[in-house]
Every structure is written in C-alpha cells, then in structure tokens.
Amino acid sequence: MISDYGADQAEVPYLLDEFNHFWEDPFDQTNPSFAECAMNRTNKVDPDGTSSMYLINHFLDVSIGSILVPDRLAADQTNAATGTGSVGDQADRCAGIWGRYPNVMLIDYFGDGDALDAQNTMNGVS
C-alpha cells in the first residue's frame, strides 16, 4: 500500500511513502494530447528517477471557471489503449523517454475506455 502523504513506516510498516519509491509526471492535465512525460514530483531517495518506479497521472481535467474537474465526456478516449491522448499513447511516449513503461497509471473513470488493454500491452501480456 502506498500513500503520497502521511505515511509513517515506523508506525505502519506496510504503508509506504510514495515518494521514497516513485516519481510522478504532471497532474491536472487540461491538454487532451498528454504531450509530456516529465518528472514533476521527484523521488526523495532517487531524485534523477533512473532507478525508481514512476507513475503517470493520466486523467483529463476541464476548467469550469477557476476550478478543474474531471472530463467525464472524454473518458472513453482518455482511457483508450491506443490513439491520440490515450493512456496507451502516453505510456508509449514515456517508455520512449525513460526506457521503460510506467509502473503505475492513475486514471479517472475506470470502466470507461479500455485502460486494461493498455496495461496488458505495457506488461507484455496479450
């Protein structure tokens, strides 16, 4: 189990501090192409990210005034295995940059699109 805030392994040894093990790319994306895979939130133990796991934040937000909310209407394409703006497309882009697929992908609206097909591709499972 991983927590991005408040993990105390001395008290709860199975609750891991995310940023001792992972780095993340940017979150709150409003660009439907998900065109980047830059390290945004670094790993405390391995700041260059070369030997740590990484997580892609693949959920699309829309702006309603000054508030960002999940774009439910785009979820089928955002969570698709292939195509522009899909989770599979972003995973391939990140693998090209980092030399390996992300270890974890965070999405909104599981069940919309076919993110499990993208995960299977990343894991080499047909």
Q: How many domains does the chain have?
A: 1
Q: What is the mean pLDDT of residues 62-83?
A: 95
Q: How many CB atoms lie within 10 A of CB 121?
A: 16
* pLDDT the model gives residue 126: 67
Query: For the whole prediction, is pTM greater than 0.75?
Result: yes
* Rounded CA separation 27/56 (Å): 8
Note the pLDDT tens digit of each residue in 76-87. 999 999 999 999
Measured CA distances, 68 to 13, 32, 72, 112, 117 (Å): 35, 14, 12, 20, 28
Task: Note down the domain range covering 60.
Answer: 2-122
Residue 6: Cβ-neighbour burial (10 angstroms; 0-12, 13-18, 19+): exposed
| Strand 22-24, strand 16-17: pairing | unpaired
Per-residue pLDDT for 59 more than 80? Answer: yes
The rounded mean pLDDT for the chain is 92
